[in-house]
Amino acid sequence: MIKGTAEMPKLSARLRFIVGAMALALIVAVAAPVTAQQRNPDSSVNPTASSVREDQLLNDLDRISGRCTIPDQKACTIEQPAGRDWRHFHEVTLRWIGAISILGMLALLVIFYLVRGMVRLESGRSGRVLVRFSVFERLVHWMTAACFILLAISGLNITFGRPLLLPLIGPDAFTAWSQWAKYAHNYLSFPFTLGVFTIFLMWIAWNIPNRVDVEWMKRGGGIVGHDHPPADRFNAGQKMIYWIVVLGGTAVAVSGYILMFPFYGTNIAGMQVAQVVHGVAALLFVAVMLAHIYIGTIGMEGAFEGMWDGTVDVNWAKEHHRVWLEKEIVEGHVAAPPPKGKMQPAE
């Protein structure tokens, strides 16, 4: 009790101080708007002196947001002129990137084919084959490839369909086709992503750059002329394709899923960026894949069968993947040469 009474004056002093401070704060708070109000020349109050201004808000933030009372809180952003910039990207920039990269690549490939022609098997076929890709590897490759082609066509339709295809088939047919193309684009993204991820795991062991690649690059891969620089299972060019598929595939998958799930961690500005990344990465990806398709089919004799039948001719392996062939022979994966003058089917 004694202790308590001794503290009483202290407490009341503290209370008085708090009440006094609050009263002062109240006076200041009430007075503040009065001083903030500016007056017109005729001394009438100007109620807009401190009002928010559109120009200033847009300069500060590039968008205007506030509070709204409807459940959809995304609607609280009323103005974001950045859509105009995104429109220009979609209408002009992206179409130029696409036209230059894809038509440019096609032109390069046509010129290259006319000048160089098919890369022939210079030593002819040996008649002996060895396994290049397992059933599983081929399955993953073709699943990813089939998805990629359908995704590329349905994606190109979104950017180039309106100027190129719509005038030919009319609005109703074009909408019907585009609706299905959009569904295909969204759903095929799942097996495509799975394919890219499996490719990443399945072939990474053979796609780490090393000294053999430096030599291969220095000699231009033997693409021009008749040089055959040594290469392991994948040469430097194929390693580049591998990393483009892995990194480009990741970029289009991530940006694509952002677009497929609007407002999950993004806003309109974020989705505009995702669309820019998706569009540019996808168009460059298509251009690179055209070169991959070329060299895997009409560009090189004996290459397509490796991915289709799973086996390649020993002479093909000798010319294009010498290091790999030597390892396969050591590991006993290649049958011994047949006796002279007698052809034998390969194992």
Partner 1 sequence: MARMKFLCDADRCIECNACVTACKNEHEVPWGINRRRVVTINDGKPGERSVTMACMHCTDAPCAAVCPVNCFYTTADAVVLHSKDLCIGCGYCFYACPFGAPQYPKVGNFGSRGKMDKCTYCSGGPEPDGSLAEFEKYGTNRLAEGKLPLCAEMCSTKSLLAGDGEIIAQIYKERVVKRGYGSGAWGWKTAYRETIAS
Minimum Å distance from CB 70 to partner 1?
5
Question: Which of 185, 233 has the CB closer to partner 1?
Answer: 185
Which two tokens mark 227? Answer: 């040089």
List of residues 6+ apart from 297 with CB closer than 8 A? 303, 304
Three-class DSSP category at 43: coil
Minimum Å distance from CB 245 to partner 1?
24
Question: Which of 72, 331 has the CB closer to partner 1?
Answer: 72
Question: Which of 91, 227 has the CB closer to partner 1?
Answer: 91
Minimum Å distance from CB 93 to partner 1?
13
Q: What angle do CA 282, 133, 139 make, to 5 degrees?
A: 55
The Cα–Cα gap between 279 and 89 comes to 10
Helix (H) or strand (E) holding 64: strand 64-65
Q: Are 234 and 206 in contact (CB under 8 A)?
A: yes
Question: Which of 52, 135 has the CB closer to partner 1?
Answer: 52
User: 190: how many CB neighbours lie within 10 A of its CB?
Assistant: 12
Minimum Å distance from CB 8 to partner 1?
40
Question: Which of 264, 340 has the CB closer to partner 1?
Answer: 264
Taking each helix axis as running N to C, give the angle between helix 135-164 and helix 171-203, from 0 to 180 degrees, rounded to the nearest 10. Answer: 150
Minimum Å distance from CB 176 to partner 1?
9
The Cα–Cα gap between 155 and 283 comes to 9
Q: Are 105 and 300 in contact (CB under 8 A)?
A: no
Question: Which of 247, 268 has the CB closer to partner 1?
Answer: 268
- Binding interface with partner 1 (CB under 8 A): 33, 36, 40, 44, 46-55, 57, 64-72, 74-84, 86-87, 90-91, 157-159, 161-162, 166, 171-172, 174-175, 178-179, 182-183, 186-187, 259-264, 268, 271-272, 275
Minimum Å distance from CB 284 to partner 1?
20
The Cα–Cα gap between 268 and 73 comes to 13
List of residues 6+ apart from 109 with CB closer than 8 A? 290, 291, 294, 299
Minimum Å distance from CB 273 to partner 1?
10
Minimum Å distance from CB 189 to partner 1?
9
Question: Which of 150, 240 has the CB closer to partner 1?
Answer: 150
Question: Which of 185, 239 has the CB closer to partner 1?
Answer: 185
Helix (H) or strand (E) holding 97: helix 94-98
Helix (H) or strand (E) holding 311: strand 311-313
